[in-house]
Copies of this chain bind each other. A is one copy, B any other.
Amino acid sequence: MDEIFSIKLKVRDYEVDLQGVVNNANYQHYLEHARHEFLNSIGLDFAKLTNEGIILVVKRIEIDYNQALRSGDSFIVDCRPERISTLRFGFNQSIYRVSDGKVIIHAKVIGTSINRQGRPFLPPEIDKAFI
């Protein structure tokens, strides 16, 4: 049985906007950080890959916003990898509030890997991470 990778974070007040809730764009930051920590957990380092010319890029993102996080909230960001096609891989991600377990957002992120010339380039270490 697979465990679902997740990280726990807490809202930082500068992430909250004039409506008193976490600004929509910041959820994308949380999702990205969870994906990079997931990659770390399987031995892949986003910055190191970039330096080696393996450029992981997001091609599409879909986010459904259900609830809003506020100042003081702790939350879980999970990350479930999924193989989409030969060259594309995906992540199903959710964010839950710790205090009541409510789903804050669901997201689907589809990415690919290119080289410095922008050509598709999926090296074995990325390939085998998404089965």
Contacts and interface: CB of A to CB of B under 8 A. Distances in A.
Interface string A5-38: 0000000111011111001111011001100100
Interface in A71-123: 71-72
Contact of A13 (B12, B47, B61): B47
**Residue of A18, A64, A72 most packed against chain B (CB within 10 A):** A18
A32 B16 contact: no
Given A24-B58, A25-B29, A61-B24, A17 B19 contact: no
Interface residues of A, number: 36
State the number of copies, please.
4
A40 B25 CA distance: 21
Interface of A: 12-14, 16-20, 23-26, 28-29, 32-33, 36, 40, 45-47, 50, 55, 57-65, 68, 70-72
Given A19-B55, A47-B70, 14 more contacts: A13-B17, A13-B33, A14-B17, A14-B33, A17-B18, A18-B18, A25-B25, A28-B28, A47-B71, A57-B65, A58-B65, A60-B62, A60-B65, A61-B61
